[in-house]
Structure 1
Amino acid sequence: MYKIAVIEDDTLLGQALVEMLTSHGYQAFAAESVTKARRLLERQPVDLLLIDRGLADGDGVELCRQRSGQEKLPAIFLTARDEEEGIVEAFDAGADDYLVKPVALAVLLKHIEAVLRRTGGEPNQVFYYQDFSLDYDRKEARIQGQPVALTPKEYGILEVLTQNQKKVVTKRMLLEQVWDDGGNFVEENTLHVTLNRLKKKIEPDPAHPVYVKNVFGLGYTFGE
């Protein structure tokens, strides 16, 4: 799933863009200023910037220029400014596309698809649920954007559970897939101890879990 940061000082427009992108299969995040955009990008890697120029505390061009200097991060400008000099300045700063408002949403989506296709690479495979995310490529879990230190077994449990969301995962399945090919040499108490340790790391209240839940007599499930 591609992740897009929407940097737009019009809060209503920014939220509408986030909802539109989400409905079309993207993971979208909003920021209303250069300062908030920097904070967002520090805690949340993204695949594309959708950025306005006239932000409350600066010009989106400067933000684009700074990000281009640190990493290759595709950027599409979506702005009301249509002066030739400003457009050239944006491309010089590293923009991949420049669109002048208003733009039909269907057209915007096609420009986003084209830029992502041109810049190449597959998106990281990431699972999201409420404040929790699990990046399968980086083998990294985050709560509210903050990384959680996991052991290989704890990560393995989360991977199996999230890849089988809405299904009950039995203890035997976890033992076979996380510990060994048959689960023959691991006691169920080992799984129980590892799960309790994992819940303490990711659950707001381990006594009332919202992520890893017991299904009495059957096994475990992730979320609702």
Structure 2
Amino acid sequence: MTIGIIEDDLLLNQALDIALQNAGYHTICVHTKKEALSLLGKTEGLLLVDIGLPDGDGITLYQELRKKRDIPAIFLTARDEEQDMLAAFDMGADDYVVKPFSMKVLLKRINAVFKRSSEEQMLSCRDIALYPDRKQVFLKGQEIALTAKEYQLLEYLMRNQGQVLTKENILEQIWGLDGQFVVDNTVSVTINRLRKKIEPEAKQPEYIHNVFGLGYRIGGR
């Protein structure tokens, strides 16, 4: 497992590198926001992010890195301020550590994050990541707001990637018995609303495809 270390303090960066490698992790070490954007966001299983960087703040950096891929993060800071903590968690931080900290404690927190990540189910389709336990959907690392029916529809499609789902299938699964009483275009209307939120171009969908005369399919061609 690879951990990205984003810390401008050279001594602390080196200490983290040694401690993590001794614990069996691979590491990629950077010291600035510019280096992080250039080198990170591809293979790491976790990021350690210093909030105060010489060329920007770590919270904004993490927001940009998550556009590449949804990566867990633990934020490091010398400031024990509630506002910083809330901002970090709002951005999706998995934990928050105030300097100075014990390497043993940090390793325990890293293990806890990996354990949570391994236990949590995720459905993915290209740039879409859906977390059933949290009822959250991310597109290129950015959370998108869906209505209950839009979310249920997307989850149903993603659990059946590559399969053609008829309107009848969808009505029965998403609307249940109520599906007997909804209007005929309910499914297509909900599909169109969902497309506007996840498709780069709703009129030329890349994710949810119409299968003429049959229904809808996500993934595959």
**TM bin (shorter chain):** 0.5 to 0.7
Question: Equivalent of 2:132, from 123, 131, 136?
Answer: 136
- 3-state SS in 1 of match to 2:106: coil
Distance in 1 between the 2:106 and 2:48 partners?
A: 19
CA displacement at 1:32 relative to structure 2: 10
Contact 1:64 1:95 in 2 (8 A): no
Contact 2:166 2:215 in 1 (8 A): yes
Runs of 4+ in 1 over 3 A off after TM superposition: 28-37, 40-49, 60-67, 69-72, 116-124
CA displacement at 1:137 relative to structure 2: 1.9
Distance in 1 between the 2:47 and 2:166 partners?
A: 35
Structure 2 match to 1:174: 170
CA displacement at 1:123 relative to structure 2: 4.0
Unaligned runs of 5+ in 1: 50-59, 76-87, 98-111
> CA offsets, 1:13-38, max 9 Å, x none?
955x943x6xxxx6x67989944742
When normalised by structure 1's length, the TM-score is 0.58
Residue 87 of structure 2 corresponds to residue 73 of structure 1: no
Question: Equivalent of 1:6, from 4, 7, 10?
Answer: 4
Distance in 1 between the 2:76 and 2:104 partners?
A: 6
Distance in 1 between the 2:171 and 2:149 partners?
A: 10
Residue 198 of structure 2 corresponds to residue 202 of structure 1: yes
Contact 1:14 1:30 in 2 (8 A): no
Structure-2 change in CA distance of 1:162 and 1:65 (3 Å): farther
Distance in 1 between the 2:201 and 2:107 partners?
A: 44
- 3-state SS in 2 of match to 1:201: helix
Contact 1:74 1:95 in 2 (8 A): no
Structure-2 change in CA distance of 1:129 and 1:4 (3 Å): farther
CA displacement at 1:217 relative to structure 2: 1.9
Distance in 2 between the 1:130 and 1:73 partners?
A: 27
Alignment RMSD, CA only?
A: 4.4
Contact 1:127 1:134 in 2 (8 A): yes
When normalised by structure 2's length, the TM-score is 0.58
Distance in 2 between the 1:32 and 1:128 partners?
A: 29
Unaligned runs of 5+ in 2: 6-28
Question: Equivalent of 1:184, from 180, 184, 198?
Answer: 180
- 3-state SS in 2 of match to 1:186: coil
Structure-2 change in CA distance of 1:215 and 1:171 (3 Å): same
Distance in 2 between the 1:194 and 1:40 partners?
A: 35
Letter in 2 for 1:179: W
Letter in 1 for 2:102: F
CA displacement at 1:209 relative to structure 2: 0.5
| Percent pairwise identity | 31
Structure 1 match to 2:23: none
CA displacement at 1:215 relative to structure 2: 1.4
Structure-2 change in CA distance of 1:14 and 1:161 (3 Å): same
